[in-house]
Structure 1
């Protein structure tokens, strides 16, 4: 059934105007760069946020990288052949079919997109209206260009989102303590990277009770 859906989507992709195909080819890779730019924007924006929110902004790309590693490990365990080789009578993919051994399940691109969309939303309220559609379009584009089954990209989105939430939840406390230490550090680069907080580090420190072991 998934092969039939894959064939339906790629048949429609093959019939679309060439400019639509070129946009899909571009988006399937360029979307990753846009997520990277949003990571930088979130970090810069939260340099004036409290330590916890700033910590999540810094953790967002790390969580995405961890999700990618999980995706790669799962790929190696499942060993699903790419549909551009496995599905009979399907149109030629719009991009080069990855070589044998670069397995299909789950989609790395969809995993990265799902993790990035969720992690950014955890640190930047309201941005999910942008990152959510971006992630969905990136996932769909991987089927549209012919290199993944629909179930590959659905699994990737779910995997990325779950790993991002779990990683951020586990790591935020320690990362926030590091952020507070950097804001009070005597090292200029550390203070610049962490920013001053919502009203300067001294104000934040007064609001934050001292941690005692």
Structure 2
């Protein structure tokens, strides 16, 4: 089933106002926003590595959740991709009279709702929250900033980001909680050949 939604009536006006504002930022800031929007997920990967490093000093449940964060992100991305295929909302930069966007507008068929980047970032943040509260809070700030940046560069409506955040949080938290059941397996593996990777 395909719905072929049209997001212009939801918050197309807000999108255009934000696009206009972004176009009038100083060139250095426009470049910074575009770069962060494109590569900000790399910072999430750094936080994942930090979570694994810290979890070596924690119990098996925490380590199991730390190891599962990348898997949580991949599964959330897969769910998001399926949802995009059902909703089939065109990108705002394809259907609205916006100025040239800070990021190249994706081709038709690359659907807008929900935002992939936002789903990934919030799924990672929710899963990290279950491992380490400080890293999780940092990841949540990163995810929110990344979501905003996806609107500012012109490739998503605000509601794409809002739904992406909800999908990511639900998937990341739910999958992260489930991953904690692997703590028994981690405890069994810690004395063995994987000791250097699972224990400080």
Using the size of structure 1 for normalisation, the TM-score is 0.86
- Is structure 2 residue 82 aligned with structure 1 residue 56? no
Paired position in structure 2 for 1:183:
190
Paired residues in the alignment total 191
Tell me which stretches of 4 or more aligned residues in structure 1 moved more than 3 Å. Answer: none
Q: 1:13, 1:60 → 2: CA distance?
A: 33
Instruction: Provide structure 1 residue ranges, at least 5 long, that are not aligned to the other structure.
Output: 197-213
Q: In 1, are the aligned partners of 2:126 and 2:172 still within 8 Å (CA)? A: yes
**Which stretch shifts more, 140-149 or 47-56?**
47-56
- Is structure 2 residue 108 aligned with structure 1 residue 104? no
Q: In 1, are the aligned partners of 2:48 and 2:69 still within 8 Å (CA)? A: yes
Q: 1:171, 1:179 → 2: CA distance?
A: 11
Q: Deviations over 1:1-26 (max 9, x none)?
A: 40000000000001111111101111
Q: 1:83, 1:66 → 2: CA distance?
A: 26
- Is structure 2 residue 192 aligned with structure 1 residue 193? no
- Is structure 2 residue 82 aligned with structure 1 residue 78? no
- Is structure 2 residue 103 aligned with structure 1 residue 95? yes
- Of 153, 157, 162, the residue aligned with 1:149 is 157
- Of 7, 10, 18, the residue aligned with 1:9 is 18
Paired position in structure 1 for 2:44:
35
Q: CA deviation at 1:97?
A: 0.6
Paired position in structure 2 for 1:45:
54
Paired position in structure 2 for 1:205:
none
Q: 2:49, 2:135 → 1: CA distance?
A: 14
Paired position in structure 2 for 1:25:
34
RMSD value, Cα: 1.2
Paired position in structure 2 for 1:204:
none
Larger-gyration structure (1/2):
1
- Of 152, 165, 168, the residue aligned with 1:160 is 168
Q: Deviations over 1:71-101 (max 9, x none)?
A: 10101111110100111x2111111111111
Q: CA deviation at 1:57?
A: 0.8
- Is structure 2 residue 158 aligned with structure 1 residue 134? no
**Which stretch shifts more, 176-185 or 70-79?**
176-185
Question: In structure 2, the residue corresponding to 1:111 is in which secondary structure?
Answer: helix
Q: CA deviation at 1:29?
A: 2.1
Q: CA deviation at 1:36?
A: 0.2
Instruction: Provide structure 2 residue ranges, at least 5 long, that are not aligned to the other structure.
Output: 1-9
